Amino acid sequence: MTRILLTSITLLLLWIGLSYLTIPETPITEPQPFLDQPTLEPDFAEFTQDYLSYFQAVMQQTKTPGAAIVIVKDNSIYALQGFGVKRVNTYDPIDVNTVFRLGSLSKGLSASLTGILVDKGIMDWEDKLQEYMPEFQLIDSAQTERINFKHLLSHTTGLPYHAYTDMVERGWDLPFINEHFKKVNLIAKEGEVYAYQNAVFSLVGEAMATATGYHVSQLLDMELFQPLGMANASVSHEAFIGSNNYSFPHAGSDGSWGKRKISKKYYNAIPAGGINASISDMASYLQLILGNRPDMISESTLDKIFEPLVNTRNKRKYFRRWSMVEEAYYGLGHRIVTTNDDILVYHGGYVNGYKSEISINRKDKIGICVLTNAPSSLSGISVPSFWEQYESYKLKKNASVQPVQKAEFLLPEMINPHQN
């Protein structure tokens, strides 16, 4: 009897020990700054920590299940952190390699991929889509012949808002959807009116395949993911699940969230919304679009990507929480907004309960990306709050300095906001 009792106690203690090793008591929540980096500016590092405290407070207030954030200045990472859990009612913490779905942040990566191919002389921004896809047809044959990659990537083909996004969400493939564009009445001449798209935007990937002989999934891996060291990035449902370190999506409202099923939506439209990535991957991507990887993409090509091509002033819903926005434009796969003394590049993404935000200030070489596994208020205010707090930080730091002039090279003259 004594031996049986001792054995039972031993097994119980072993079970408790294993449980302790495999399930942390609480999720990782404290920011871990990269203070060992010798290039960090102390003032900006302090500002970053203040912002992270605010970020964590909002996350707790909204009870957002999980989030991850990166803040970059110049070529240094000031914050790279996971918060919360991958799934409500568990203790499985988000880390810097946890994979999220990016949603429409994929559009920016697709524009960058196009830019890389342009730099290599494989494609050109002005190339006509029909040169690569003769089967592409709009209801107006003359307009069809004029559609180029800039029109695709700036949502100015003339097609109405979200043309056939419903087909994308039903899982139909792009060649099938492409057959239907010729049935849609156009709302404007190409280049004149902004109308957000997913289906026709994604045809840039079909054109890339024709130009290179590689599927867009292969091109993203060869030209972006591998060179940047985006080890967790992928473009399929199977790869997402197979990562074994992924976050679950959630539905509900601030304070009450429930786990959702991971869907396969938008993996049939990779350039528009089918990319998966971790926050460490996005740290590497920020380095690219901040101009720190000239070996991959030229500064002149980045200028072209971030050139404001069409005014989106009538689409204020994207900036309801931005108190500092004066004008809003769309470039190639990115939104461009002007403030009182800065020009910011921005995009948001939503798919299947995941929300993502990315933004850069090219003049000051600062970038931020936030990934969340629930569409909480945190995701909507994280980026505008960052820039508002950064503005206050600059005013405090440079109280005796004259206001910074707008960077003209970022915002060319727009005498006619509807020009091509």
For residue 31, give every residue at least 6 positions away whose Cβ sits within 8 Å of its Cβ, in sequence order, or none: 49, 52, 53, 56, 79, 81
Structure tokens at 92: 């499985």
Report whether pLDDT(319) > 90.
Answer: no
For residue 295, give every residue at least 6 positions away whose Cβ sits within 8 Å of its Cβ, in sequence order, or none: none
Low-confidence winner among 284-288, 324-328, 356-360, 363-367 (lowest mean pLDDT): 324-328
C-alpha to C-alpha distance for 317 and 194, rounded to whole angstroms: 14
Burial (0-12, 13-18, 19+ Cβ within 10 Å), 224: buried
User: Would you state the pLDDT for residue 326?
Assistant: 87
User: Would you state the pLDDT for residue 318?
Assistant: 72
Low-confidence winner among 24-38, 138-152, 222-236, 244-258 (lowest mean pLDDT): 24-38
User: Would you state the pLDDT for residue 341?
Assistant: 82
* 8 A C-beta contact, residue 250 and residue 373: yes
Instruction: Compute the half-sphere exposure of residue 170: CA atoms within 13 Å on the CB side of its CA.
Output: 9
Report whether pLDDT(16) > 50.
Answer: no
Percent of all residues in the chain with a pLDDT value above 90, rounded to a whole number:
80
User: Would you state the pLDDT for residue 403?
Assistant: 52
Residues in the chain: 420
* Mean of pLDDT values over 21-40: 42
* Mean of pLDDT values over 201-214: 98
Provide the pLDDT confidence category of residue 343 given band limits of 50, 70 and 90. Answer: very high
* Mean of pLDDT values over 397-407: 58
Residue range 47-75, pLDDT digits in tens: 999 999 999 999 999 999 999 999 999 99
Query: What stretches of 54-189 adopt beta strand conformation (E)?
Result: 66-73, 76-84, 99-101
Residues 246-285, buried b or exposed e (16+ Cβ, 10 A)?
bbbbbebeeeebebbebeebbbbbbbbbbbbbbbbbbbbb
Rounded to 5 degrees, what angle do the CA atoms 102, 107, 111 make?
135
Residue range 369-400, pLDDT digits in tens: 999 999 999 999 999 999 999 999 998 887 75
Q: Domain ranges in the chain? A: 55-410
Q: Name the amino acid, one letter, at 68.
A: A
Provide the pLDDT confidence category of residue 36 given band limits of 50, 70 and 90. Answer: very low
Report whether pLDDT(6) > 80.
Answer: no
| Yes or no: domain 55-410 corresponds to CATH 3.40.50.11540 | no
Higher pLDDT, 189 or 15: 189
Low-confidence winner among 169-178, 190-199, 214-223, 401-410 (lowest mean pLDDT): 401-410
User: Would you state the pLDDT for residue 18?
Assistant: 33
User: Would you state the pLDDT for residue 402?
Assistant: 54
* Mean of pLDDT values over 183-212: 98
C-alpha to C-alpha distance for 366 and 390, rounded to whole angstroms: 10
Report whether pLDDT(5) > 90.
Answer: no
Structure tokens at 61: 């207030």
User: Would you state the pLDDT for residue 419?
Assistant: 33
- Beta pairing partners, 346: 335, 359
Residue range 119-139, pLDDT digits in tens: 999 999 999 999 999 999 999
For the chain, the average pLDDT equals 88
C-alpha to C-alpha distance for 350 and 380, rounded to whole angstroms: 11
Report whether pLDDT(13) > 90.
Answer: no
* Mean of pLDDT values over 199-210: 98
User: Would you state the pLDDT for residue 21?
Assistant: 30
Residue range 266-312, pLDDT digits in tens: 999 999 999 999 999 999 999 999 999 999 999 999 999 999 999 99
